[in-house]
Chains A and B, each alone.
With several copies, the nearest count.
Chain A
Amino acid sequence: MTTTREPDSARAAPPTRALGPRVVDVIFRRREASILLVTLALFVYFSSVNSAFFSEANMRVLSHFTYPIAMIALGQVMLLVCGQLDLSAGHVFAFTPFVLLFFIEAGVPTAIGVVLAVAAASGVGLLNGLITVKIGVHPFITTLGMAFVLQGSTLIIADGRPTTPPDLGSVESEIFGRFPFVGIMWAVVLTALMYVVLTNTRWGIYTFATGGNPLGAREAGVPIDRIKIGNFMMCSALAGFAGTLEGYRISSFDPLSGGFTTMFFAISAAVIGGTALAGGSGTIIGGFLGALFIGVLRDGFTIEGISSFQLFIYLGVAIIISMVLNVWLSRLRRGAMLS
C-alpha cells in the first residue's frame, strides 16, 4: 500500500482559506451536507413558487411543522444508533401533557410540573428499556404494547376530548410553547446538546458501539444494557417535552395528538437524515434536518394550495426524488473530497 497520509488534523482546520469558504468547506465535509442541500433546494423552490413561503408568518408555521418531529427524532436517533427503536414516542407525546395537567391541578407550579411530567415520561422510557433489555422482548413489541397502553390511558384521563391548559396566560406557558418560535428554539438547543452527547461523550461512543457490534461492545466492557435503557429514557423524555410544548402552543392538550403518525414522521426524519435502522450509525444533526425536510415539504405543498388527495402524491414523489438526489449528492461529495 502506498499511503498518501492525510494529516489527521486536516478535517479540523484547512490552513489557508478565508472564513466564508472555510465554513462552506466544513459544512461540505460533513455527512449531513447532502440532506442540507436538498432541503435548501426545496426551500428555494417553494420561495420562488409562492412569495408567501418565505414570510415571517410562514416561517413560524414551518417551525411548528418542524420542532415536534425534530425533538422526537433526536431521541429516535439515539435509540436507532444503539439498535433499538421506540414506537410509543408519539403516545408519550400525547400522554405527558395530561400528567402535567394532573400536577397543575394538584397545585404544583407549572415549571416544576413540567419537570415532573418529563420525568414521568422518562419513567415510561425506563419501563420500555427494562422490559426490552432485562427480559429480552423485542423493542418493537415492547414499545408497541406501551403505545397502546398509553393511548388508552390518555383517552381515559382526558375523557376522550381535548382539554385547555389551565394556565394559558402564565410566563411558563409562554416559555413552554406559546411564545413565537420558542418551540424551534427549544429544538435547536436540544439538538445542539444531543449532538455533543452523541459525538463528544463516552455515552455517545457507547451508543454507537452498542448498536454497531453489541457482542464486541460487551467484550470491550461497554455497559450495553445501561446505554439502551438510558436512551429509551431520553427518547421518552424528549417526546414528552415536545408534547408539552405542542399542547401549550395550540392551547389544547389533545389526547389524539402525536400517536403513531408523529412517531412515524420522527423515525422517517431520522432515516432521511442518514440514520440506519440496523444500528451503529446515525447523526443528530441529520435527524433535525430530516424533520426540517419533512416540515418544508408539508408546509410548502400546503401553502401552494395542493388539496389533500393530491398532496399525498406530491409528498410521495417529492420524498423519493429528493432522496434520490440526496444519494447522488453524497456520492458527488465523497468524490469531490478526494480531489
Chain B
Amino acid sequence: TGDDNGNGEAADNGNGGNGGGGAGNFPETPAWNFVFVNHVTTNPFFVPTQYGIEDASAMLGTEFQWSGSETSEISEMVDAFDTALAGGADGIAVSLVDLEAFNGPIERALSEGVPVLSYNADAQNQRLAYVGQDLYGSGYAMGQRIVELVGDGKVGLFIATPGQLNIQPRIDGALDAIRDSGADIDAQDIASGAELPDEVNAVESWYLGNQDATGMFAVDAGSTQAVGQIVEQQNARDNNLRGAGGYDLLEETVRLVSDGVLDFTIDQQPYLQGFLPVLYLYLYKLSGGVATPPETNTGLVFLDQDSAQLFLETESRFEGDSEEQKIVEPVN
C-alpha cells in the first residue's frame, strides 16, 4: 500500500487529464508541494483527510506532506511549519489550534508568496481562508443536543486528553451550552486517556460509580466508541440513561449509532478538509493569487440511527474505513 499517505508519489499515476498537459485542461504545472501541518498526526479522525489530500494531489499532479505534532504540542507544529517554509513548500495548510503562535510564521510565509490556509481548526489571522468546522461551535451544538436529549440529571462528558486543542474547545463549548440552557444538568468532564483500551476502562469505571447518569457523551473518536460500547454492555438505557453520543465515524461507532445505542455522532466531513485545501491552494497558485480561496464550512452533521445506515453499509475513502477507490452506490 504505497500510496496511502506517502509524499505524493500518487502524482505519477494520477495524471488523468490531457488538456494543457496538466490535470484536466489546466496547463502543465510544476509538482507543487503542499504541506499539511496537523496537531494530531496519527489520529484516525484524519485518515479520510489524508485520503482527501491524496486524491486531490493525484488529480492535480501535486505533492503533499503530512506533518506536525502527535500530541497537539504547538511548538512542534510551529517547527514543522517553519521547516516546510524553509524547505520551499508551495503552499501550507495548518490546523490553527493556537490563536497567536502561527501569526508570525504565517506572515512570513505570505510575504514569501506562499499561500496559507487553515483547516479543521481556525484562528483569526492573515491566513487566506478556513476549511472546516468550528470546534467550539460544534461542541456548543452538541451541548444543545445534550440538553434536548437528557433534560436533567448527571451527565458524563469524556475527553481523551484534556487540554488537547482539537477536542478541548468542543468540551468547553458543550459545557457552555449546557450552562447557558439553564437546564438542571450536572455535567462532569472526565479524562479518559489517550488510547482506546484506557478509554473503555475509564468510561466503564465512571459509569459504575454513577449509575444514575442520564447521559454520556464524548468529544473524541475513541471515547465516543468507548461510550457506545459501555452503554451497550451495561444496558445503560434500561437504567437511567436517556442520551449518549459523540464525535466521528469509527467503524464501531457507526454501528453503535445504527443499533440505536448511541443517539448521534457528529460528522464534519474530514475528507473535504483535506481535499478542498489542496484544490484551493492549487487554484491560488495557478491563478497567481487571483482565485482567492473562500471560507468553507464543511458542516456539522448529526449522524443518527437512520443516516448511519448508509455509512454502515458502505465503506469508502470518504469515511476513512477503506482505502479502495470506487463509486459508492447510495443504499436507497
Contact = CB atoms under 8 A, between A and B. Distances in A.
B50 A160 contact: yes
Contacts of B196: 162, 250, 252, 254, 256-257
B197 A246 contact: yes
Interface in A245-265: 246, 249-252, 254-259, 261-262
A335 interface: no
Interface stretch (B138-146, B161-169, B281-289): B161-169
B66 interface: yes
User: What interface size band does chain A fall in?
Assistant: 35 or more
A33 B184 CA distance: 48
Contact of A251 (B72, B82, B100): B100
B31 to A, nearest CB: 11
Interface string A290-308: 0000000011001111111
A156 B4 CA distance: 8
Interface residues of B, number: 81
B279 interface: no
A52 B82 CA distance: 12
14 contacts: A61-B205, A155-B42, A156-B4, A160-B44, A161-B172, A162-B250, A251-B100, A254-B73, A256-B72, A299-B83, A305-B210, A309-B4, A309-B163, A311-B162
Contacts of A164: 99-100, 251-252
Instruction: From B82, B159, B202, name the one whose CB has the most chain A CB atoms within 10 angstroms.
Output: B82
Interface string B165-181: 10011001000000000
Interface of B: 1, 4-7, 33, 35, 38, 41-44, 46-47, 50, 63-68, 70-75, 78-80, 82-88, 98-101, 103-104, 156, 159, 161-165, 168-169, 172, 188-191, 194-197, 200-202, 204-206, 208-211, 222, 225, 229, 234, 250-252, 320-321, 323
Contacts of A302: 65, 67, 79-80, 83-84, 87, 190, 201-202, 205-206, 209
B168 A161 contact: yes
A311 B38 CA distance: 14
B165 A57 contact: no
Contacts of A303: 83-84, 86-87, 205-206, 208-210
Interface string A117-160: 00000000000000000000000000000000000000110111
Given A309-B191, A312-B191, 6 more contacts: A53-B209, A55-B208, A162-B98, A164-B100, A302-B209, A307-B66
B7 A306 contact: yes
A160 B163 contact: yes
Contacts of A162: 44, 74, 98-101, 165, 196, 250-252
Summarize B's interface: helix, strand, loop or mixed.
mixed
Contact of A307 (B104, B163, B188, B208): B188
Contact of A57 (B103, B188, B208, B222): B208
A61 B83 contact: yes
B323 A307 contact: no
Interface of A: 50, 52-53, 55, 57-58, 60-62, 64-65, 68, 155-156, 158-162, 164, 246, 249-252, 254-259, 261-262, 298-299, 302-312
